[in-house]
Amino acid sequence: MLTFKSGNVDNSMKIATIIGARPQFVKAAVISKALSHAGHEEILVNTGQHYDENMARIFFEEMGIPKPDYDLGVGSGTHASQTAGALVGIEEILLKEKPDYIIVFGDTNATVAGALAAAKLHIKIAHIEAGLRSYNRAMPEEINRIVTDVLSDLLFVPTQVASDNLSKEGITSGIHIVGDVMVDSLMTYTEVAEQKSRILDDLNLEKEKFLLMTIHRPSNADHDDRLLSILKEVSNINLPVIFPVHPRSRARVEKLISQTSGDIRIIEPVGYLDMMLLEKYSKVIITDSGGVQKEAYLHMTPCLTVRGETEWVETVEDGWNYLVGNQLKKISQLAYDFPEPKRWKHHYGDGHASDKVVQLLEKNLT
């Protein structure tokens, strides 16, 4: 018997999806599934910005992301070299493949390279996680977001706040509030993690009797003084602190950690399944990651953000996220005594953002 897939197969689309860094693997996992389920052809392009086993391959394996059609291997380097390498490689692929759309995610150098290459070739650009702003242009990601949003035809924003941010910059068409694809990932894979991950046993952790920490923003991770101050403050916490170290700061953390006491456990970056359980069962999360702040909210785990501002303003307004900024003393104080959050809402959608994205791509194909 013939069965039909949910998408409009007669109107099937060819989509080039650009990924390259860890947060994009997490987002692409659910979009690739939604595209494939609706019968569309996806050309997956990995710029290769992240390449260590635990920064890349583990996500493909655990989350069932298809093998990329193209690997550009841009690797590490300056912003210009990473962006330029990706730009040249993506342009060549777009000329050959002639997709109906390019999809770019978030705010990395792969995102802006993809958008720029497509715009000059008049290929429609769909930006997933559009409209986010920190209003801090010292962050390379803020530059990538602004440029990508200006160039995009379809702007898939997670929230009304993100939509309003775009309006303030004069971008008023092509905006669709679809929720956040990271909710789709989190809902799908936390269930899998509960079955498969052994991380709590492996690290000998009791639920809510440990803290999770991730630090990788250049403003925190690239300066000895700042990073040491953070580590010293965290070492005042009288609970194990699990710290999967981003390769950006590996050498610096290894050098500085001997100057701290306390129970900070330095480990390799973990895969997404282990990460979901560490986030869910951490007493409080300490982070400067965008995605981890949001995931903390979704898991209902209080979060201390080691930054002065955030794109994910709802998490702060609802009382689940506290911006530590330069008041590092707050870390050990609030780790023990986090104020009761005010409320929790489905700000970021219901876990069906990726299906909505695919439907809107189909509808807007002309």
Residues 6+ apart with CB under 8 A from 357: 31, 34, 126, 128, 156, 178, 181
- The Cα 278–Cα 207 span in angstroms is 9
Residue 247 near ligand UD1 by CB under 6 A: yes
For the beta carbon of residue 198, count every other beta carbon within 10 angstroms: 10
The interface with ligand UD1 within residues 200-239 (CB under 6 A) comprises: 216
- Closest separation between CB of residue 50 and ligand UDP, Å? 8
- Closest separation between CB of residue 27 and ligand UDP, Å? 8
- The Cα 167–Cα 190 span in angstroms is 35
The interface region with ligand UD1, picked from 34-42, 101-109, 292-300, 334-342 by CB under 6 A, is 101-109
Instruction: Considering the complex, state which of residue 131 and residue 269 has its C-beta at the smaller distance from ligand UDP.
Output: 269
- Closest separation between CB of residue 348 and ligand UDP, Å? 13
Query: What, of ligand UDP, ligand UD1, none, does residue 247 touch, CB below 5 to 8 Å by kind?
Result: ligand UD1
- The Cα 290–Cα 315 span in angstroms is 11
Q: Which residues bind ligand UDP (CB under 6 A)?
A: 22-23, 26, 214, 216, 244, 269-272, 275, 289-292, 295
- Closest separation between CB of residue 8 and ligand UDP, Å? 31
Query: What, of ligand UDP, ligand UD1, none, does residue 140 touch, CB below 5 to 8 Å by kind?
Result: ligand UD1
Token digits of residue 23: 């947060």
Residue of 108, 321, 354, 359 that binds ligand UD1 (CB under 6 A): 108
- Closest separation between CB of residue 24 and ligand UDP, Å? 9
Query: What, of ligand UDP, ligand UD1, none, does residue 51 touch, CB below 5 to 8 Å by kind?
Result: ligand UD1
Residue 50 near ligand UD1 by CB under 6 A: yes
Instruction: Considering the complex, state which of residue 271 and residue 302 has its C-beta at the smaller distance from ligand UDP.
Output: 271
101 burial via Cβ count (<10 Å: 0-12, 13-18, 19+): buried
Bridge partner list, 101: 15, 124
- Total chain residues near ligand UD1 (CB under 6 A): 18
Instruction: Considering the complex, state which of residue 101 and residue 272 has its C-beta at the smaller distance from ligand UDP.
Output: 272
Token digits of residue 152: 């995009």
The interface with ligand UD1 within residues 307-366 (CB under 6 A) comprises: none
Query: What, of ligand UDP, ligand UD1, none, does residue 114 touch, CB below 5 to 8 Å by kind?
Result: none
Which residues belong to the active site?
A: 216
Residue of 8, 36, 39, 51 that binds ligand UD1 (CB under 6 A): 51
Residue of 16, 21, 63, 118 that binds ligand UD1 (CB under 6 A): 21
Residue 252 near ligand UD1 by CB under 6 A: no
From residue 122 to residue 161, the character string flagging contacts with ligand UD1 as x (rule: CB under 6 A) and all else as - is ------------------xx--------------------
The interface region with ligand UD1, picked from 21-29, 89-97, 192-200, 295-303 by CB under 6 A, is 21-29
Instruction: Considering the complex, state which of residue 216 and residue 232 has its C-beta at the smaller distance from ligand UD1.
Output: 216
Residue of 16, 17, 23, 213 that binds ligand UD1 (CB under 6 A): 23
Residue 69 near ligand UD1 by CB under 6 A: no
**One-letter-per-residue 3-state SS of the chain:** CCCCCCCCHHHCCEEEEEECCHHHHHHHHHHHHHHHHCCCEEEEEECCCCCCHHHCHHHHHHHCCCCCCEECCCCCCCHHHHHHHHHHHHHHHHHHHCCCEEEEECCCHHHHHHHHHHHHCCCEEEEECCCCCCCCCCCHHHHHHHHHHHHCCEEEECCHHHHHHHHHCCCCCCEEECCCHHHHHHHHHHHHHHHHCCHHHHCCCCCCCCEEEECCCHHHHCCHHHHHHHHHHHCCCCCCEEEECCHHHHHHHHHHHHHCCCCEEEECCCCHHHHHHHHHHCCCEEECCHHHHHHHHHCCCCEEECCCCCCCHHHHHCCCEEECCCCCHHHHHHHHCCCCCCCCCCCCCCCCHHHHHHHHHHHCCC
Site residues, ligand UD1 (CB under 6 A) = 21-23, 49-52, 55, 76, 107-109, 140-141, 216, 246-248
